[in-house]
């Protein structure tokens, strides 16, 4: 097991160059395709292995197991995992709390170095990580590659951000004082990620927590524990001390809720559905006996994202952007376009072209890199198919409308487009999280903006228009955390597009942005009297001027 890194050791390698996004892999290149096939073969040979739960230095087995399966072939077991229950909450938090006492005293350079090392290892094993995502959640090659690239970006970006934060300048220095604002860690974090960016979000929240000096109990999603286990192995290989991150797959409603409620949990970093996020918010708000703080919650939740296509849009670009944003990774992105709001002047021609474009999307096994793979599990498939039936009654089916049985016995659903959806219809308002696009007719741009803002969510959105006036109007009035012009509403890049939504989409934490790490710290002001300048301020003699 790893021991604590010594900051005096020369092997610390702190990033010194400016941050740059990890390039995406071109699978049109024969050599890259060959590497991906080799990685798929390697990972296939490792499927079905059993993994331990890891709390501190202890490897734990439980009676109950979690079986992670390939959604394209549900009979294929990707991995077998222990299932943490309520009884594991106490030891997991205790291990993280114990590790915190040492980890919080490590230097920021040491922690940044850990992330930089993690990035290096992931870069070496990019294809392998992508292959795990292909098997475990059904991403096609490009989607899986983007996920691992984003993970590397988070590691590199947060390493640099932690160093920057440590150098933060205190705005004013009073005469005769050395005034410093320092950002110190909070304590033990419960990190609770979703399955849909099984590497990037899981690793991003975890790395943001530890690079700022916190320790973590990480509870991956039921649907993607293998990728989390692989990432945990990388943290260990990079030299992470025991207990800094504890790897605890388990049920959300028992182990997850127990973590949130524990009095020593200092904060919760969650990404997932609105329902679970709101439940966590409520549980975390209730102080437990012995609890000394108000728990912080960082909650990134669902979306119902729209692309507005104005009457003056470049139609080819708009059709392509809508198709990619609606059906990339089977529509299972919080940023996915689930509503195309189209000006009535171009509505019919847009629909015609969209129908042709969507007809070209093939559905099949992601190991063979088909554009669309399966949805994540049977429950999701049933829920999506139910929504499709609702949608058929609410509007006019243009394409798809059911299972894609020809793709195999996995959870495959056809890309589905339903037009003439009224703005307040259920499939226009509720998050479906699958390959279902509602097309809504707008009277004009004004009307399109009003429709775009008519849900309880506010995550991403896009506008296709060649009019500067329209774009400027949307800049102020389209109320979403991530807004895009003349490009699709998915594919946020670390650094360029800090990510997080408004309203019921979450706390707008802006992952991958300059403010994100502040959420994982608390600021402490330290004022030291220096020199022989005498009393800095004699407030006792200045009646009423003391402020705090
Ligand atoms: P989910 O809410 O079902 O689960 C998320 C995590 O919460 C899982 O690890 C789960 O086990 C855990 N959990 C479940 N019940 C819990 C409880 N009572 N207490 C504590 N933890 C609990 O979401 P999902 O299906 O994994 O992911 C899809 C959702 O995530 C969608 O709504 C999507 O929009 C959202 N999402 C949002 C963002 C964003 O940045 N806003 C990014 C990705 C996904």
Same domain, 297 and 360: no
Please tell me whether residues 318 and 248 are part of one structural domain: no
- Residue 538 confidence (pLDDT): 52
Statement: residue 470 has pLDDT above 90: yes
Instruction: Assess whether 397 and 368 both reside in one domain.
Output: yes
Whether residue 535 is contained in a domain is answered as no
Q: Whose CA is nearest to atom 16 of ligand 1?
A: 252
Q: Is residue 534, in this structure, part of any structural domain at all? A: no
Ligand 1: centre distance to CA 243 (Å): 24
489 is known as an active-site residue? no
Minimum CA distance residue for ligand 1 atom 10: 252
User: Does residue 5 lie in a domain region?
Assistant: no
Helix (H, G, I), strand (E, B) or coil at 271: strand
Domain count, the chain: 2
Residue 64 lies in a domain: yes
Contacts of 459 (CB under 8 A, 6+ apart): 302, 303, 304, 305, 334, 335, 480, 481, 482, 501, 502, 505, 506
Question: Average pLDDT in the 406-410 region?
Answer: 95
Catalytic residue status for 300: yes
Closest to 435 (Cα-Cα) out of 330, 361, 355: 330
Q: Of all protein residues, whose CA lies closest to atom 23 belonging to ligand 1?
A: 272
The chain-wide mean pLDDT, for the chain, equals: 95
The predicted model gives 181-191 an average pLDDT of: 98
Give the chain's radius of gyration (CA, Å). Answer: 25
Decide if 373 contacts 366 (C-beta within 8 A). Answer: yes
d(CA 123, CA 117): 10
Average pLDDT over residues 39-57: 98
Q: Which two tokens stand for residue 384?
A: 């999506």
Using CA atoms in the order 251, 210, 150, 375, what is the torsion angle rounded to 10 degrees? 0
Are residues 267 and 334 located together in one domain of the fold?
Answer: no
Q: Is 301 in the pocket of ligand 1 (CB under 6 A)?
A: yes
Q: What does the alpha-carbon distance between residue 188 and residue 101 come to, in Å, rounded to a whole number?
A: 10
Per-residue pLDDT of 143-159, as tens digits, reads: 999 999 999 999 999 99
* Residue corresponding to tokens 């012009």: 485
Output the pLDDT for position 531. Answer: 82
- Of 214, 109, 279, which is closest to residue 518 (Cα–Cα)? 214
* Cα-to-chain-centroid distance, residue 142: 17
Q: Is the CB of 269 under 6 A from ligand 1?
A: no
Minimum-distance ligand 1 atom for the alpha carbon of 501: 41
Burial of 413 (0-12, 13-18, 19+ CB in 10 A): buried
Whether residue 22 lies inside any domain: the answer is no
How many residues in the chain? Answer: 548
CA of 294 to the centre of ligand 1 (A): 23
Whether residue 247 sits in one domain with residue 161: yes
Q: Measure the CA–CA gap between 393 and 418, rounded to whole angstroms.
A: 10
For every residue of 502-522, DSSP letters joined together read SGGGB----BTSTTGGGGGEE
Helix (H) or strand (E) holding 65: strand 65-70
Task: For residue 545, name the pLDDT band (cuts at 50, 70, 90).
Answer: low
Is residue 8 in some structural domain?
Answer: no
Residue 539: its pLDDT value, please? 52
- pLDDT at residue 548 in the model: 60
Read off the pLDDT of residues 7-34 as tens digits, 9 standing for 90 and up: 445 578 899 999 999 999 999 999 999 9
Look at residues 335, 339, 298 and name the one whose alpha carbon lies nearest to residue 480. Answer: 335
Instruction: Say if 539 falls within a structural domain.
Output: no
The β-bridge relationship of strands 53-55 and 58-60 is antiparallel
Q: Are residues 172 and 309 in the same domain?
A: no
Encoding tokens for residue 379? 């429950």
Q: Is the pLDDT of residue 533 over 80?
A: no
Are residues 389 and 244 part of one domain?
no
- What is the reported pLDDT for 9? 55
> Strand 521-529 and strand 305-309: pairing?
unpaired
Cβ 307 vs Cβ 463: under 8 Å: yes
Confirm or reject: Cβ of 512 under 6 Å from ligand 1.
no
Ligand 1: residue whose CA is nearest its atom 18:
253
Residues 137 and 234 in one domain: yes
**With a 6 A CB cut-off, is 196 part of the ligand 1 pocket?**
yes
CA 406 – ligand 1 centroid, Å: 30
* Predicted confidence (pLDDT) per residue in 438-452, tens digit: 999 999 999 999 999
For residue 117, pLDDT over 80 is answered with: yes
Q: What is the mean pLDDT of residues 264-286?
A: 98
Q: Quick one: three-class SS letters along 152-215?
A: HHHHHHHHHHHHHHHCCCCCCCCCCEEEEEEEEECCEEEEECCCCCCCHHHHHHHHHHHHCCCE
Residue of 254, 272, 275 to mutate, ligand 1, most atoms within 8 A of C-beta: 272
Any idea what the CATH number is for the domain that residue 72 is in? 3.40.605.10
Do 253 and 319 have their domain in common? Answer: no
195 lines ligand 1 (CB under 6 A): yes
Atom of ligand 1 nearest to the CA of 300: 41
Residue 487, pLDDT above cutoff 70: yes
- In the reported structure, the alpha carbon of residue 221 is separated from the centroid of ligand 1 by a whole-number distance in angstroms of 8
77 Cα–ligand 1 center, Å = 22
pLDDT interval class at 1 (50, 70, 90): very low
- Structural tokens at position 455: 């849900």
256 lines ligand 1 (CB under 6 A): yes
Confidence of residue 197 (pLDDT cuts 50, 70, 90): very high
HEC secondary structure over 11-47: CCCCCCCCCCCCCCCCCCCHHHHHHHHHHHHHHHHHC
* Ramachandran angles phi, psi of 497, nearest 5°: -130, 70
Per-residue pLDDT tens digits for 150-185 = 999 999 999 999 999 999 999 999 999 999 999 999
My answer on whether 286 and 335 are in the same domain is: no
Q: Which of 199, 248, 334, 337 is catalytic?
A: 334
CA 315, 316, 321, 326 dihedral sign is positive
CATH number for the domain spanning 480: value is 3.40.309.10
Q: Are residues 95 and 137 in the same domain?
A: yes
Q: Whose CA is nearest to atom 11 of ligand 1?
A: 252
Nearest atom in ligand 1 to 197's CA: 43
Residue 530 inside a domain? The answer is: no
Residue nearest to atom 37 of ligand 1 (CA): 301
Give tens-digit pLDDT for 367-393. 999 999 999 999 999 999 999 999 999
Q: How far apart are CA 220 and CA 192, in angstroms?
A: 6
Ligand 1 atom index nearest CA of 431: 32
SS3 245: strand
Regarding the beta carbon of 338 and ligand 1, being less than 6 Å apart is answered no
Query: From the CB of 248, is ligand 1 less than 6 Å away?
Result: no
Our answer on whether the CB atom of 509 is closer than 6 Å to any ligand 1 atom is: no
Express as a percent the part of the chain with pLDDT over 90: 94
Statement to judge: residues 278 and 310 lie in one domain: no
With CA atoms as reference, report the closest residue to 273 among 165, 155, 379: 379
60: containing domain: 38-301+506-524
Residue 508 in this model has a pLDDT that exceeds 90: yes
Please give the distance, rounded to the nearest whole angstrom, from the Cα atom of residue 342 to the centre of ligand 1: 31
pLDDT band at 511 (very low <50, low <70, confident <90, very high): very high
Q: Ligand 1: which of 276, 378, 512 to mutate, judged by most atoms within 8 Å of the beta carbon?
A: 276
For ligand 1, atom 30: residue with the closest CA:
272
> In ligand 1, which atom is closest to the CA atom of 511?
40
- Judged against a pLDDT cut of 60, whether residue 534 lies above it is answered with no
Residue range 294-326, pLDDT digits in tens: 999 999 999 999 999 999 999 999 999 999 999
Which residue, by CA, sits nearest to atom 12 of ligand 1? 252
Query: At 547, is the pLDDT very low, low, confident or very high (cuts 50, 70, 90)?
Result: low
Whether the CB of 506 sits within 6 Å of ligand 1:
yes
- What separation in Å is there between the alpha carbon of 8 and the centre of ligand 1? 40
270 C-alpha to center of ligand 1: Å? 7
Q: How far is the CA of 469 from the centre of ligand 1 (A)?
A: 38
Q: Which of 22, 300, 394, 431 does the annotation list as catalytic?
A: 300
Residue 104 pLDDT greater than 70, yes or no: yes
Calculate the alpha carbon distances from 345 to 32, 41, 163, 194, 480 in Å: 44, 51, 52, 40, 25
């Amino acid at each position: 097991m790893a021991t604590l890194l010594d900051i005096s050791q020369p092997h610390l390698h702190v990033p010194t160059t400016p941050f740059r996004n990890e390039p995406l892999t071109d699978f049109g290149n024969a050599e890259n395709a060959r590497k991906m096939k080799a990685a798929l073969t390697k990972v296939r040979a490792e499927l079905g292995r059993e993994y331990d739960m890891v709390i501190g230095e202890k490897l734990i087995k439980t009676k109950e197991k979690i079986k992670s399966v390939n959604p394209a072939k549900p009979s294929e077991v990707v991995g077998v995992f222990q299932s943490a229950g309520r009884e594991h909450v106490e030891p997991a938090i205790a291990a993280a709390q114990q590790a915190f006492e040492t980890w919080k005293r490590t230097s920021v350079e040491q922690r940044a170095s850990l992330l930089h090392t993690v990035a290096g290892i992931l870069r070496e094993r990019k294809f392998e990580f992508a292959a795990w995502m292909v098997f475990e959640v059904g991403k096609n090659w490009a989607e899986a590659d983007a996920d691992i690239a984003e993970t590397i970006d988070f590691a590199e970006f947060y390493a640099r951000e932690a160093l920057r934060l440590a150098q933060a300048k205190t705005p004013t220095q009073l005469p005769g004082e050395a005034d410093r604002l320092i950002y110190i860690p909070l304590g033990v974090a419960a990190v609770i990620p979703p399955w849909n960016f099984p590497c990037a979000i899981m690793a991003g929240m975890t790395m943001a927590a530890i690079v700022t000096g916190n320790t973590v109990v990480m509870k991956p999603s039921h649907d993607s524990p293998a990728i989390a286990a692989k990432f945990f192995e990388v943290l260990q290989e990079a030299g992470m001390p025991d207990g800094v991150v504890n790897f605890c797959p388990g049920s959300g409603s028992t182990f997850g809720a127990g973590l949130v409620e524990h009095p020593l949990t200092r904060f919760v970093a969650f990404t997932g559905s609105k329902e679970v996020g709101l439940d966590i918010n409520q549980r975390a708000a209730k102080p437990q006996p012995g609890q000394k703080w108000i728990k912080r919650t960082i909650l990134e939740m669902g979306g119902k994202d729209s692309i507005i296509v104005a009457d003056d849009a470049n139609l080819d670009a708009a059709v392509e952007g809508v198709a990619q944003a609606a059906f990339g990774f089977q529509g299972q992105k919080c940023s996915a376009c689930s509503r195309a709001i189209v000006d009535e002047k171009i509505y019919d021609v847009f629909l015609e072209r969209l129908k042709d474009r969507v007809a070209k999307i093939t559905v099949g096994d992601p190991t063979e890199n088909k554009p669309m793979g399966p949805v994540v599990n049977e429950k999701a498939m049933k829920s999506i198919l139910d929504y499709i039936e609702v949608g058929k009654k609410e509007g006019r089916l243009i394409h798809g409308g059911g299972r894609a049985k020809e793709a195999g016995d996995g959870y495959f659903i056809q890309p589905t487009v339903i037009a003439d959806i009224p703005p307040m219809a259920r499939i226009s308002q509720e998050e479906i999280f699958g390959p279902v696009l509602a097309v809504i007719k707008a009277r004009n741009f004004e009307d399109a903006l009003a429709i775009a803002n008519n849900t309880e969510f506010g995550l991403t959105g896009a506008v296709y228009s060649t009019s500067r006036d329209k774009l400027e109007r949307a800049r102020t009035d389209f109320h979403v955390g991530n807004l895009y012009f003349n490009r699709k509403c998915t594919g946020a890049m670390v650094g360029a597009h800090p990510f997080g939504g408004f309203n019921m989409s979450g706390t707008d934490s802006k992952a991958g942005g300059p403010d994100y790490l502040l959420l994982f710290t608390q600021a402490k002001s330290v004022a030291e009297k220096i020199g022989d300048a005498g009393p800095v301020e004699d407030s006792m003699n200045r009646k009423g001027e003391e402020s705090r």
